[in-house]
Amino acid sequence: MNTSDHPGAITPGQFRDRFRLPHGPQGHDSLYFCGNSLGLQPIAAADAVAAELERWASLGVGGHFDGPLAWMTYHRLVTDNLALLAGAQRSEVVAMNSLTVNLHLMMVSFFQPVGKRRRILIERGAFPSDRHAVASQLALHGLDLAHDLVELAPRRDGLLHEEDLEDYLERYGDSVALVLWPGVQYATGQVFDLARIARACRRANVTLGLDLAHAIGNIPLELHDWEVDFAVWCSYKYLNAGPGAVAGCFVHERHAEFKGLRLAGWWGHDEKSRFRMGPEFKPSKGAEGWQLSNPPILAMAPLWASLDLFAEADLHALRRASLGLTGHLASELNGRLHEVIRIITPLEPHRRGCQLSLQVRAGRQAGRQLFERLEAHGVVADWREPDIIRVAPVPLYNTVEEVDNFVDLVEKLL
Ligand SMILES: Cc1ncc(COP(=O)(O)O)c(C=O)c1O
């Protein structure tokens, strides 16, 4: 694989020395392929947190207003970089809360069933938290899960097809109020053509919300140009901002002056008059208008530190490196172990991100056994029921050599 013929190219693992790598069982470095679940800790994260602890100790409440890191506007330190990763304008993104909280906030505003148009369409096998959130929003409107939740099924190949979503919307679009779709399906690793899905939703006049938990920092996004209505993501996977990190939210510019229902809090109030402490709520324009509380600075600091690495590396360069790195894993597995391992992630470059989802052809028990043996040898990947091993080489910190070592190990253990 050669990525060096592109200007600004990066080599997989080029930023490895900017991260802390957990130790494996015998004190050796682990083979860490779990950035799809929890990204590694950027070294700069600890410094950023320590700096805020120190500012708190030395400035007390003065930290709210002191210098460029003033806590009053600290959440804006990440806005430019989030906008780059989301393909958004600055006013369209905000870092706040956690993914599921943001999803609820968005659905309160953007799922407004009227008459026949009241269904929510998701994928069958959606991440459980999304399904719980959707089910509870339907209940909030007194709607019936059995009729008003549509779960689009994968085909026999186990994958979801954009065409099926288009067909559904063409036929029944006037009954759908909201499509909630993932950027990358968490179990299979399938990447969707989000531009196409957004076009289908617009044709049918249906609101589109995206769950980008597995997409942000993994694949390039153009949320503004695609005219997605809203999107939410977490920051502890490919964004490396730490367990339970502050999540993100996108609201398209056309909703900047949103007049409908929202769950409001003082931090969403227009900044200029927020501290007049008046009783009425005057929302800030854009995504910031959905903020509820003043941001958790100690949790925001690692996000700031980690997003700087993306700005330095450039997401498009990372994506090129990722296509090579994950492509290498796929071709080694298929070349050497095709008889025993099935890759369920589609392998066309535009339909996959960092992650490959693997099944052992001999069945669940053999798969689980392989997974446990890999773990005992220092491989950090993850297991998703009933029989999936997810492996995600991340171009910021994983190398081609690690991928080779992983495939050697799988071959040996099988
Ligand atoms: C696809 C997807 N959606 C939603 C969530 C829930 O995220 P949170 O616990 O941050 O709300 C996750 C968590 O891993 C996820 O992978």
State the distance from the centre of ligand 1 to the C-alpha of 4, rounded, in angstroms: 35
Indicate the burial class of 42 (C-beta count within 10 angstroms; 0-12, 13-18, 19 or more): buried
Which atom of ligand 1 is the closest one to the Cα of 247?
Answer: 10
Shortest-distance Cα residue to atom 10 of ligand 1:
99
Best of 101, 103, 129, 388 to mutate for ligand 1, by most ligand atoms within 8 A of CB?
129
Q: Whole-prediction pTM value?
A: 0.96
- The CATH number linked to 378 is 3.90.1150.10
Structure tokens at 212: 């980008």
Closest C-alpha to 344, from 156, 197, 216:
156
Determine, yes or no, domain membership for 7.
no
Which atom of ligand 1 is the closest one to the Cα of 37?
Answer: 14
pLDDT at position 397: 98
Indicate if 24 and 83 belong to the same structural domain.
Answer: no
Which atom of ligand 1 is the closest one to the Cα of 236?
Answer: 10
Domain that holds residue 132: 57-311
Indicate if 232 and 381 belong to the same structural domain.
Answer: no
pLDDT at position 28: 75
pLDDT at position 4: 44
State the distance from the centre of ligand 1 to the C-alpha of 99, rounded, in angstroms: 6
Indicate if 71 and 130 belong to the same structural domain.
Answer: yes
Best of 127, 180, 192, 211 to mutate for ligand 1, by most ligand atoms within 8 A of CB?
127
pLDDT at position 7: 60
Shortest-distance Cα residue to atom 7 of ligand 1:
99
Closest C-alpha to 89, from 210, 239, 241, 255:
255
State the distance from the centre of ligand 1 to the C-alpha of 104, rounded, in angstroms: 13
Indicate if 305 and 335 belong to the same structural domain.
Answer: no
pLDDT digits 0-9 by tens, 82-94: 999 999 999 999 9
Determine, yes or no, domain membership for 349.
yes
Determine, yes or no, domain membership for 52.
no
pLDDT at position 6: 61
Using DSSP bridges, classify how beta strands 207-211 and 230-233 pair: parallel, antiparallel or unpaired: parallel
State the distance from the centre of ligand 1 to the C-alpha of 162, rounded, in angstroms: 22
Determine, yes or no, domain membership for 143.
yes
End-to-end CA distance of the chain: 27
String of DSSP letters for 84-111: HHHT--GGGEEE-S-HHHHHHHHHHHH-
Indicate if 251 and 109 belong to the same structural domain.
Answer: yes
Which atom of ligand 1 is the closest one to the Cα of 234?
Answer: 10
pLDDT at position 5: 52
Indicate the burial class of 300 (C-beta count within 10 angstroms; 0-12, 13-18, 19 or more): buried
Indicate if 248 and 329 belong to the same structural domain.
Answer: no
Indicate if 300 and 396 belong to the same structural domain.
Answer: no
Indicate if 289 and 318 belong to the same structural domain.
Answer: no
Structure tokens at 267: 């931090």
Determine, yes or no, domain membership for 9.
no
Closest C-alpha to 148, from 174, 120, 173, 167:
120
Q: In b/e form, how buried is each residue of 146-174, taking b as 16+ CB within 10 angstroms? A: eebbbebebeeebebebeebbebbeeebe
Distance, CA of 32 to CA of 18 (rounded, Å):
15
Shortest-distance Cα residue to atom 12 of ligand 1:
213
Closest C-alpha to 241, from 297, 306, 314:
306
Q: Give 75's Cβ-side CA count (13 Å radius).
A: 23
**Residues 13/373, Cβ–Cβ less than 8 Å:** no
E-strand stretches of 306-348: 341-343
Number of folded domains in the chain? 2
Bridge partners (DSSP) listed for residue 391: 356
Among 311, 335, 352, the domain boundary falls at 311
- The CATH number linked to 106 is 3.40.640.10
Indicate if 185 and 63 belong to the same structural domain.
Answer: yes
Closest C-alpha to 307, from 95, 81, 89:
81
- The residues lining ligand 1, judged by C-beta closer than 6 Å to any ligand atom, are 98-100, 127, 129-130, 182, 186, 211, 213-214, 234
Indicate if 228 and 268 belong to the same structural domain.
Answer: yes
Indicate if 297 and 349 belong to the same structural domain.
Answer: no
State the distance from the centre of ligand 1 to the C-alpha of 81, rounded, in angstroms: 21
Structure tokens at 243: 């367990």
Determine, yes or no, domain membership for 153.
yes
Which atom of ligand 1 is the closest one to the Cα of 100?
Answer: 11
Indicate if 288 and 340 belong to the same structural domain.
Answer: no
**Residues 351/219, Cβ–Cβ less than 8 Å:** no
pLDDT at position 291: 98
E strand or H helix at 56:
helix 43-59
State the distance from the centre of ligand 1 to the C-alpha of 5, rounded, in angstroms: 37
Distance, CA of 159 to CA of 275 (rounded, Å):
51
State the distance from the centre of ligand 1 to the C-alpha of 181, rounded, in angstroms: 13
**Residues 248/235, Cβ–Cβ less than 8 Å:** yes
Shortest-distance Cα residue to atom 15 of ligand 1:
213
State the distance from the centre of ligand 1 to the C-alpha of 267, rounded, in angstroms: 24
E-strand stretches of 143-294: 149-152, 176-182, 207-211, 230-233, 248-251
Low-confidence ranges of the chain (pLDDT < 70): 1-7
Distance, CA of 72 to CA of 271 (rounded, Å):
10
Shortest-distance Cα residue to atom 13 of ligand 1:
213
Helices (H), 61-173: 79-86, 99-110, 128-140, 145-148, 162-172
State the distance from the centre of ligand 1 to the C-alpha of 73, rounded, in angstroms: 27
